[in-house]
Amino acid sequence: MVNFIVIFPVLIPFAVGLLLLWQRENRAWQNTLSVLAGLGQLVVSGLLLRAVWHEGVLVFHLGNWPAPFGIVFACDMLSAVMVCICALVGLSGMLFAVFDMGNEYRRGAFFSLFYFLLFGINGAFLTGDLFNLFVFFEVLLMTSYVLLVLGNKQAQVNAGLRYLTLNLIGSTLFLAGAGILYCQLGTLNMADIAQRISGIDNKGLVTAVGMLFFCVFGIKSAMVPLHMWLPDAYSAPRAAVGAVFAGLMTKVGVYSFYRLFGTVFCFDTVFTHGTVLLPLAGLTMVVGVWGAVVQYDVRRILAFHSISQIGYILMGLSLWSPLALAGGIFHMIHHSLVKSSLFLIGGGIGRIAGSEDLRKIGGLAKFSGLALLFLVSALALAGVPPLSGFFSKFVLVVSAFQGGHPALIGAALLTSLLTLYSMMKIWRMGFWGARKEEKNEERAEGTGLMKGIFWACGFSVVLVVLLSVLAGPVMKICIRAGEQILDQKAYVSAVLENSRTGGGGKPRPLKEKPNPKGITP
């Protein structure tokens, strides 16, 4: 019965999305059910994390069909952490949306689409086979595209077309890679593939398939040079949508990097030991932060920072050590929380000043609460101690030093300095600068709408502060997650235990050549 909890983070948002679609004209119903469902999902994700901590990898076989033949949901510590992040970021975005979304967006089924998006994200974090990972990717693509263009503004439509085109290319590459693996191995279960893939004689084919998935997840995570879609896609929609995109969407791609190249392709050191990924991680940091430095729109600055911070997370995987993986996972938690809070605050700035262009706004320091929330989040993003960004970056830099990568250390430190510079540019021009468009500011000050938005932003910043205060316990969880990634056999045996045991419980031996009729490239 403990394993049954694994499916709850997928079932809850799906059921809530259907209920919200049924009552999308009822504003009170939407607000109440959305917030209660968000709280419920947070509780379930916490219970799941606790169960994985005490029980190890949890596996749920849908319909009681054993792996690799049935649909499998598996949750190790990494998956449990990601589900918790999804619950926290989703609740923050939902609280903001309750106050920010007008009737036009509500009639467009925003709240229902929001929970269908969370359904796809949690499904991607918990699925145990490649085909269902592809299915959940497509759920993400469809719902995120509708959320992106909801409102039908020209900037949203243009960003949506680029976003859709690049992600369809990624989906095509995903299908190609999955098809080749299935022809060779006769299975798409990730644990089963991990055991059988070493039996493929043509190692060049394995590397080619790995490169296909490398490109797919590079697009999904906005790794340089596959990042072109992200700045417009994150800055064009409403703030609540941008916050969830920034907090979660790229993390699905990064999680897939950790999952697939930590479980299936971990033996291929071209990927896991930095030959390809390590220089791209450093390049992603530098290119992303430089894009942020030259921007003047608040949310475009934040969008480019989403690219640069992905570089730190990929740095943890490319260094391939327990400490580095823990640092990368901690930075994933940190970035999800701090970036969603900054996007929500950016939406608040737009509401108050009537614009998010730093050259058109100023004097926002009079809103002392919003100013304080921004300052805390901005310093956390830059990695100023004792906030959460400092701990993850410190661990990653130490790991790079131990691995002998001075260039990567230089890229990480330079990115932190330029991040601080660009955040202070927002502070200097937006909060300390000369006041402009005063009518909008005076009208916004003190209204119930702005108070609600302030409290929604405050909730997200409190999460950032709590992560800083609880950095020690959270790092222990991340270390456990990193150790499980390196211990491939534990994940494989947990998923395949029921399907590979006979009456006496002894594993059935695998065939040396599981698919002798495999294709030849």
pLDDT in tens, the chain (521 residues): 568 889 999 999 999 988 888 877 777 878 888 889 999 999 999 999 999 999 888 988 887 777 777 888 999 999 999 999 999 999 988 888 887 766 666 666 788 888 999 999 999 999 988 999 999 999 988 898 888 887 767 777 888 888 888 888 989 999 999 998 888 888 888 888 888 887 777 777 888 888 889 899 999 888 988 888 888 888 877 888 888 888 888 899 999 999 888 888 766 656 656 678 889 999 999 999 999 999 888 888 999 999 999 999 999 988 888 899 999 999 999 999 999 999 888 888 887 877 788 888 877 877 778 888 889 999 999 989 889 989 999 999 999 999 889 999 999 999 999 999 999 998 888 888 666 655 444 444 445 456 777 788 888 899 999 999 999 999 999 999 998 888 888 888 888 874 444 333 333 343 444 443 443 33
In a domain, 483, yes or no: no
Give Cα separations from 380 to 32, 137, 150, 376 (angstroms): 32, 30, 31, 6
Range of the domain at 427: 284-469
Q: Kindly report the CA angle at 250 between 244 and 254, in degrees rounded to 5?
A: 135
* HEC letters along 159-175: HHHHHHHHHHHHHHHHH
Q: Is residue 143 part of a domain?
A: no
Helix, strand, coil % over all residues of the chain, rounded to 5: 75, 5, 20
Phi and psi at residue 267, in whole multiples of 5°? -75, -15
Residue 254: the pLDDT is: 92
Q: Residue 99: inside a domain, yes or no?
A: no
Which DSSP state fits 507? Answer: B
Residues 280-295 as b/e (b if ≥16 CB within 10 A, e otherwise) read: bbbebbbbbbbbbeeb
Helix axes 471-486, 448-469, angle to 10 degrees: 70
Domain count, the chain: 1
Query: 3-class DSSP state for residue 263?
Result: helix
What is residue 244's predicted lDDT score, i.e. its pLDDT? 87
In a domain, 362, yes or no: yes
Beta pairing partners, 75: 58
Residue 470 identity (one-letter amino acid): L
Residue 316 is assigned to a structural domain of this protein: yes
Is the distance from CB of 57 to CB of 490 less than 8 angstroms? Answer: yes
5/48 Cα distance (integer angstroms): 7
Residue 23: phi and psi, rounded to 5, are -120, 45
Is residue 220 assigned to a domain? no
Residue 72 lies in a domain: no
* DSSP states of 346-390: HHHHHHHHS--BTTT---GGGSHHHHHHHHHHHHHHHT-TTSHHH
Helix, strand, or coil (residue 264): coil
What single DSSP character describes residue 513? S
Pairwise CA distance, residues 419 & 81, whole Å:
26
d(CA 2, CA 83): 17
At 273 the pLDDT is: 61
For 56, left (φ over 0), alpha (ψ -120 to 50), or beta?
Answer: left
- Please state, as a whole number, how many other Cβ atoms lie within 10 Å of the Cβ of residue 23: 14
pTM of the shown model: 0.89
Which pLDDT belongs to residue 201?
Answer: 74
Phi/psi class of residue 178: alpha, beta or left (left: φ > 0; alpha: ψ in -120 to 50)? Answer: alpha
Is residue 262 in some structural domain?
A: no
Count CB-CB contacts under 10 A for residue 36.
Answer: 11
Q: For position 109, what pLDDT does the model report? A: 79
